[in-house]
Amino acid sequence: MDPLTTWKSVPEVNQMGYEEFVTVFGNVVEHCSLVAAAVWKFRPFKDVRHLHEEICIFIDQLPTAGGEGILRLHPDLAGRAAREATLTSESNREQRAAGLTDLTHEEKMQLTRMNDSYRSKFGFPFVICARRNKKEAIMEGIRSRLKNSPEVELHKGLGEVKKICYLRLLDLVEHEGVESRL
Ligand code: 2AL
């Protein structure tokens, strides 16, 4: 998909009805259209960054179980959904960009083992912004984050969800003059 032909302008976003807004932004947080449904009422947005800030505020106000739920909606990196080709197009593109579609058999086994250990320790999957990390950084990230407490990992995981969300928003909305890094 060519972003230039699909980008929405901020005025277009601000004029969207609820249904169109959820159709367009329903997966900026993976499998969680509730987020788009919740922030629609905060239009008009000044720019894409303002829309992202409202999403972050919504995520930060969730109780622990809600935050954990958001993390659980994410597929494992190079996990079952990738093997079974059931990833969302966004996730597929992100995992490819990080080099996770080109892992050796050995690397796949190692990542699967670490993903499983992470999930059994914390009760939610390891989440990291794949477009901001190459496979080596992801492997190192999961290894070191496995040592953290559940509270720290809930916070770190949601921080990564916000980064993933920001990059997905930049794919959808015109953003001239807006910082592409958070
Ligand atoms: C993902 C995903 O689907 N995209 C991304 O950047 N990270 N999943 C994950 N478990 O970290």
CA 94 to chain centroid? 9
What is the model's pLDDT at position 172?
A: 97
Ligand 1 site, residue 30, Cβ cutoff 6 A: yes
DSSP state, 173?
B
What is the model's pLDDT at position 34?
A: 98
Q: Which atom of ligand 1 is nearest to the CA of 163?
A: 6
Ligand 1 site, residue 129, Cβ cutoff 6 A: yes
Per DSSP (E only), the strands in the chain are: none
**Cα of 132 from ligand 1 centre, angstroms:** 11
Going along the chain from its start, the domains and CATH numbers come out as 3-172 (1.10.3330.10)
pLDDT tens digit sequence for 27-84 = 999 999 999 999 999 999 999 999 999 999 999 999 999 999 999 999 999 999 999 9
User: Average pLDDT of the chain?
Assistant: 95
- Residues 135, 107 contacting (CB under 8 angstroms): yes
Residue nearest to atom 9 of ligand 1 (CA): 127
Predicted confidence (pLDDT) at residue 116 exceeds the cutoff of 80: yes
Q: Is 74 labeled as catalytic in the residue annotation?
A: yes
- Residues 12, 176 contacting (CB under 8 angstroms): no
Residue nearest to atom 3 of ligand 1 (CA): 91
Could you tell me the pLDDT band of residue 171, with boundaries at 50, 70 and 90?
A: very high
Average pLDDT over residues 145-167: 98
User: Between 2 and 175, where is the model more confident?
Assistant: 175
3-state secondary structure of 105: helix
Which strand (E) or helix (H) includes residue 138? helix 135-145
CA dist 104 and 130 (Å) reads: 18
DSSP3 helix / strand / coil % (the chain, rounded to 5): 65, 0, 30
- Residues 139, 53 contacting (CB under 8 angstroms): no
Q: Which atom of ligand 1 is nearest to the CA of 79?
A: 10
Best of 29, 30, 115 for a ligand 1 pocket test (most atoms within 8 Å of beta carbon): 30
CA dist 94 and 163 (Å) reads: 12
pLDDT tens digit sequence for 4-33 = 558 999 999 999 999 999 999 999 999 999
**Cα of 75 from ligand 1 centre, angstroms:** 6
Q: Which atom of ligand 1 is nearest to the CA of 91?
A: 3
Report yes or no on whether pTM surpasses 0.75. Answer: yes
Q: Which residue has the tokens 């994410």?
A: 74
Q: What is the Cα gyration radius of the chain?
A: 17
Q: What is the identity of the amino acid at 146?
A: L
Best of 27, 128, 134, 142 for a ligand 1 pocket test (most atoms within 8 Å of beta carbon): 128
Predicted confidence (pLDDT) at residue 1 exceeds the cutoff of 50: no
